Amino acid sequence: MALCHYYGGPQYGVSEFRFALELGLVLRSRRQTHYSLRGLLHELSDRLRHRGVVHHYLLPGQAYRENDRIWTVVGDDTLPSSPHENTRFGIRLVSPYFIFRDFSRWMHQVQDVFRVLYEDDFETTATHQCFTYVHIVPCRGYWHLRELKALAKFILHYEACLDALMPVYRQRSILCKSNRWNDWFRGRPNSRDAFADVDRSMASVKDLAFYMNVCGPHSATATALPHMRHMPAGAAHNTFRWSFTNLIMERSTGSRLTGFGTVVFRQPPAASSATEAMRWVLLVGCFAQLSRTHADALDPNGGASLKRLGECLLYQARCCGAPHRSLLKSMFDQAVPPAQRRSAAAALEYELVGPARIQPHEQEKLRHMELQKDIAADKYKIFAMRQCP
């Protein structure tokens, strides 16, 4: 029986989620020639204000106090900029933490932001290094360990299906590595063993975050980041399809162990329209809600079905009352089934092991990422302090 055929829907006790959207793009002005990031951010801020998007922007090195209820715009050193040749700059836009089912509010704001980026006086370039990240956390402000384990099982089980929705370069990049074939889970080639590890070996949020995002000392990531080479057991790093590394705080609430922080879906490419950005948010929100109730219904002996996942996500979207459900349907209609991508998926495991495989621009980006402020994490901390004083 298909998973969604007996799924009861979120109205029967499923926790609500909040999310933040993070967009990485390369931008230039059509109206003015800007040789500095300051000028471009100032013009972009004017256009956002004109559209009614409440926000603030930050200059490099500027001290700031983050606000989780407005958009933040910053320069991004990890994206290719060429101020003197064609006056392009890498920028990052981080949304407030929206309630997932407050569809009207967040969809309206996302549409306004993209009207500025693509319809006003700017030219936006989406390189392979650009990105769309979705940060997610329960509305209460923290995760229970059992919720994280359920989400981890869904991620491990359906990774190949989600790969089918991505361009090949987002399947093979060291910047969004496979959780299923990382240095820990590649030793558990079948889902039964992987699920057993999640259930039995991961007794804390810290354990789960480590094993979902572990890089070995001889991995390509450790090659690029020398401080990781001296950790014999490896180290957790955020450059995976799903990052759990923000779950750095752990606390006991009654008899339950809870994790404070967000889980981040980092695999989607740059969104070239509001509909693309909304599509990824719908996918992540529905995927997380499904995992809450049906991780135990997954068959570890059976293969993951792209068709079934699509049906269940659409069913979940209907239960949520989500508008624009056709965005999800079209995504799955256009996907290449995992079986047809098996050779690329098999190559992925080997491509990311050897140090010779890392590209120079990826190595440079990894090093820049180490120095970058995590704006979305700072926003989360403010939201969590308000929810859990």
pLDDT in tens, 88-98: 999 999 999 99
Using alpha carbons only, give the angle 228, 232, 237 rounded to the nearest 5 degrees. 40
- In the predicted model, what is the mean pLDDT of the chain? 87
Q: What is the 3-state secondary structure (H, E, C) of 102-135?
A: CHHHHHHHHHHHHHHHHCCCEEEECCCCCEEEEE
The tokens describing 185, both together, are: 């889970």
Proportion of the chain above pLDDT 70, given as a percent? 87
The tokens describing 191, both together, are: 């889902």
Distances (CA, A) of 169 to 271, 345, 365: 15, 12, 16
For residues 91 and 228, the model is more confident at 91
Tell me the C-alpha distance between 101 and 331, whole Å: 20
For residues 162 and 119, the model is more confident at 162
Of 17-26, 121-130, 354-363, the range with the lowest mean pLDDT is 354-363
Identify whether the C-beta of residue 206 lies closer than 8 Å to the C-beta of residue 226: no
- Pairs from 304-307 (Cβ < 8 Å, separation ≥ 24): 304/157, 304/158, 304/159, 304/160, 304/161, 304/338, 305/161, 306/161, 306/164, 306/332, 306/335, 306/337, 306/338, 307/332
Strand partners, 125: 26
Q: Where do we find the tokens 């029986």? A: 1
The tokens describing 98, both together, are: 């929206």
Proportion of the chain above pLDDT 90, given as a percent? 63
Of the chain, the end-to-end C-alpha distance in Å amounts to 44
- Alpha helices (H) along the chain: 37-50, 103-118, 145-163, 191-200, 205-212, 220-224, 274-294, 306-320, 326-333, 342-351, 360-371, 375-387
Using alpha carbons only, give the angle 180, 182, 184 rounded to the nearest 5 degrees. 100
Give the residue among 387, 261, 323 at the shortest CA–CA distance from 101.
Answer: 323
Q: Is the pLDDT of residue 360 over 90?
A: no
The tokens describing 323, both together, are: 């508008």
Give the residue among 174, 127, 224 at the shortest CA–CA distance from 351.
Answer: 174
- Percent helix, strand and coil across the chain, each rounded to 5? 45, 15, 35
Helix axes 205-212, 145-163, angle to 10 degrees: 10
Tell me the C-alpha distance between 175 and 329, whole Å: 27
Predicted confidence (pLDDT) per residue in 183-226, tens digit: 999 888 888 999 999 999 899 999 999 999 999 888 888 888 87
Identify whether the C-beta of residue 20 lies closer than 8 Å to the C-beta of residue 262: yes
For residue 387, what pLDDT is reported?
Answer: 83
Identify whether the C-beta of residue 24 lies closer than 8 Å to the C-beta of residue 90: yes
Tell me the C-alpha distance between 133 and 137, whole Å: 13
Predicted confidence (pLDDT) per residue in 327-343, tens digit: 999 999 999 876 554 44
Tell me the C-alpha distance between 224 and 241, whole Å: 18
Distances (CA, A) of 26 to 38, 134, 274: 15, 19, 16
The tokens describing 377, both together, are: 């994490």
CB atoms closer than 10 angstroms to residue 218: 14
Of 111-115, 162-166, 345-349, the range with the lowest mean pLDDT is 345-349
Tell me the C-alpha distance between 218 and 234, whole Å: 8
Predicted confidence (pLDDT) per residue in 97-141, tens digit: 999 999 999 999 999 999 999 887 899 988 889 999 999 999 999
For residues 17 and 62, the model is more confident at 17
Please tell me whether residue 6 adopts helix, strand or coil conformation.
helix
Residues present in the chain in total: 389
Q: What is the pTM of this model?
A: 0.92
